[in-house]
Amino acid sequence: MQLTTHLTEKKSTILGRWLTMIFESYPPETAIFLRKEKNRFDNPVGYRISEGLEGLYDALIHDFDRERVLTFLDEIIRIRALQDFSPSQALAFIFLLKNVVRQELAKEIAGEKLAAELQDLESRIDGLALLGFDVYVKRRDKLNEMKVGEMKSRISGFLRKSGMNADDL
């Protein structure tokens, strides 16, 4: 597969551009921090996104192990779900890879007639997005369950302090 060779050779460039595009989805001051700070402890969000992207990229190019892909997707989507991104915003990063690959490999794609291989890669990226949607929904459901549990706990505490219980309502 010739496309795989080109994707492997340009891995760092493609990953760098993909990461930059994702960071640009944040407010300007946050994007600057995410790009600038490389320490995993000072910038855990940037680090986790970067690590997740690399894992996803390798899975798309080499071996699409569903469990590993789900782990990498969860790393990134967990962050975006916590930050109250809408589903489309939270998952848009996956589709950005298509643009980056087309831009970075434009000459190779046209010159070596790699359209069929590119279409196969883009289909895998679309499949990644579908898996990402499942991950996002599970994450949001979990967050909502936590919020409901917290509200129940608060209400229960309030009722106890006021000398009532839930049965009195």
Residue pLDDT, tens place only, 32-41:
999 888 888 9
Task: Identify whether 7 is part of a domain.
Answer: yes
Residue 84: left (phi > 0), alpha (psi -120 to 50), or beta?
left
Q: Would you say residue 162 lies in a domain?
A: no
Owning domain of residue 10? 2-141
User: Per the domain annotation, does 120 fall within a domain?
Assistant: yes
Number of domains in the chain: 1
Q: Does residue 38 form part of some domain?
A: yes
Cβ atoms < 10 Å from Cβ of 23: 20
Residue 167 lies in a domain: no
Q: Domain for residue 160, yes or no? A: no
Summarised one tens digit per residue, pLDDT across range 48-80 is: 999 999 999 999 998 888 999 999 999 999 898
The model's pTM? 0.80
Q: What is the CATH number of the domain that holds 115?
A: 1.10.490
Which pLDDT score is estimated for 112?
Answer: 81
